[in-house]
Structures are given as C-alpha cells and as structure tokens.
Amino acid sequence: MNYFKTGLLLAALTGLFMAIGAALGGQSGMVIAFLVALAMNAFSYWNADKMVLRMHGAREVDARTAPELHEMIAGLARNAGLPMPKVYIIDNPQPNAFATGRNPENAAVAATTGILQTLSREELAGVMAHELAHVKNRDTLIMTVTATIAGAISMLANFAFFFGGNRNSNNGGLGIIGTLAVMILAPMGAALVQMAISRTREYAADRMGAMICGNPVWLASALEKISGAAHHIPNPSAERNPATAHMFIINPLSGQRMDNLFSTHPDTENRIRALMQQAQEMGNAAQPAAAGHDGPWSQATRANRGPWG
C-alpha cells in the first residue's frame, strides 16, 4: 500500500509540473515540461548521489580509516541482505545521517562527525540501520526523483514571473493574477507532495531499520537525541542546499528559512511512539541503548557488540 501511495504522489508531482508547463505554453509547454522532467530524472538517476555527497563535503572512509564504523555498517548490511555500501563521513557538528544511491548495488551512507560524537554505539547502529532500510526499500532513488521534480517546479514557477505575467490572459497567457497564483501555489503544492512521500518512507524505514539492528529502542533513543540537537546546531551545507533536507534522518534545517514552512519529516515524537510500540511487539522494550556519550569510537564498546558485528 505504501508503494502504491508513493507512486500516486510521484504521479501527482509530475502532473503538477506538466500543468505548469501547460499554463505557460499550452499543449506544447506541457510536452516540453514532460521532456524536461524525463531528462532531469535521467540525469539524477546516474549522478544525484555524487552531487549530494559533494554538496555536503562528504569524504569516503574504509576499514582502515574508520574501522569501527565500517565494521558496524558491514554487519548491518549483512543483516539486511544488502551489498556493502560506500561509507562517508561529513565534517559537520550537527548529529545527522543520510543514504543515497540509485540502487543497493550503488548505495552510499553518510554520517556527520556530530552524530559519531553524540550517540552510543547502539544508537548509531539504529540510525545506520534506518539508512540501510532506505537503501533496501529503494527510497534513495524515490527521494532523488522527488527532489528533482520539486526543484524543477519551483524553478518553473519563478520562470512564470518573467514570462507568464507579460502575456494577456485573453490571448492564452496566465495574466498577472494567474502568474502570482502559480508562483505561490505551485511550490507549496510540490512541498506538500514531497512531504507526504517523505513521511510515508520515513515510517517504513524506521520499522525496517529497527528489525535490521535488532532493537527499536536504540533507534528511538537516537531520534530523541538527534532531534534535540539538530534544532540548536546549524548545518550550513543543508541550509545552502535545502532541497536535500528530506534525505536526512532528522530535518537538518534551522527553521530560519521559508524552506521549512512544510517539514518533510514526520513528527519525531510520533516516530518514537511507533518504535516503542514495535519494541513491545518484538519483546525487547526493556533493553535500552547504552547511556552516556561515548560515541562508537570508544575502545570500551568493542566487547559490547550487538547483532550487527
């Protein structure tokens, strides 16, 4: 059902893009908009992962440069039945993480230095399992396509300001009122659809990620910590590239921009509540994540490996 809903929302987003093209240029405008959407998605399919990682200054690490993180993700990938993804670290104090890639064979997961310093090993395992769930569900491709079309809609709406308002509405143009409506309503509509898609995929990734790491409480504890910190610690690369905000496990934007008018993430308390319910169903609600702020690099945690290692 979630995939059916996601498909419908993607179709609605594409339809909105084509409708703006039709409003600007009639039938030929709609056709051009459709072709542009196809071209942008084709480009995104092959290059979006590299673009996103570059936007956030991510550096690739391996078993030699980040042995504990690499080993953890390798174990979680085995649990999920996935190929080993590429692993990246982002020098950013805000605790956060995301996954990208067009398919499981070409996936990458990225974690900020902030999240490595903030979470316990168990909590970090919950977060990275969530990101691997996105890979397994192929959400990384879905969210890339969503971001591309939503960004194109905003661009086309701005384009309408320069060309739509200069044409007489009686001669097939938008007119000034129609142009203003497109400029305001189209990006809002795109944001709402993008938000709905992201929320659907986040809940599914939370549930599957909890199963991959073995304990929903670990992810719930991580979400609580990350959410609290993300509101106080800025993420400059995300602020410069707000179209990528939906890819992170928690909204990385500060809320100081209009881009945050519609959040692309579900309410954190609702996510935690769902995870705690899942923990009761799995029978491990009484196994909380380790307390403190050791981070995954503490030598003391080596002997306390969970089912991921």
**pTM for the full model?**
0.77
Q: Which residues pair with 2 in a beta bridge?
A: none
pLDDT band at 200 (very low <50, low <70, confident <90, very high): confident
Q: Could you report the per-residue pLDDT of 258-288, keeping only the tens digit for each?
A: 334 456 688 899 999 999 999 999 886 545 5
List residues with catalytic annotation: 131
pLDDT at 234 over 80: yes
pLDDT band at 293 (very low <50, low <70, confident <90, very high): very low
Q: Which residues pair with 60 in a beta bridge?
A: 88
Contacts of residue 90, defined as CB under 8 A and 6 or more positions apart, other chains included, come to 56, 57, 58, 59, 110, 111, 112, 113, 237
Q: How far apart are CA 229 and CA 227, in angstroms?
A: 6
Q: How far apart are CA 2 and CA 32, in angstroms?
A: 30
Check if the beta carbon of residue 274 is closer than 8 Å to that of residue 207.
yes
Q: Which residues pair with 98 in a beta bridge?
A: 110, 248
Highest mean pLDDT among 79-83, 144-148, 191-195, 255-259: 79-83
Highest mean pLDDT among 149-153, 180-184, 230-234, 302-306: 230-234
Check if the beta carbon of residue 23 is closer than 8 Å to that of residue 178.
yes
Given this model, what pLDDT does residue 55 score? 92
Closest CA to 214 of 279, 295, 269: 279
Residue 47 host element (H or E): helix 2-55
Long-range contacts of residues 257-266, Cβ cutoff 8 Å, at least 24 apart: 261/188, 261/191, 262/188, 262/191, 262/192, 262/194, 262/195, 263/195, 264/191, 264/194, 264/195, 264/198, 264/199, 265/198, 265/199, 265/202, 266/199, 266/202, 266/203
Given this model, what pLDDT does residue 47 score? 81
Check if the beta carbon of residue 58 is closer than 8 Å to that of residue 49.
no
Residue 14 host element (H or E): helix 2-55
Check if the beta carbon of residue 69 is closer than 8 Å to that of residue 119.
no
Mapping DSSP to helix (H, G, I), strand (E, B) and coil, where does residue 309 land? coil
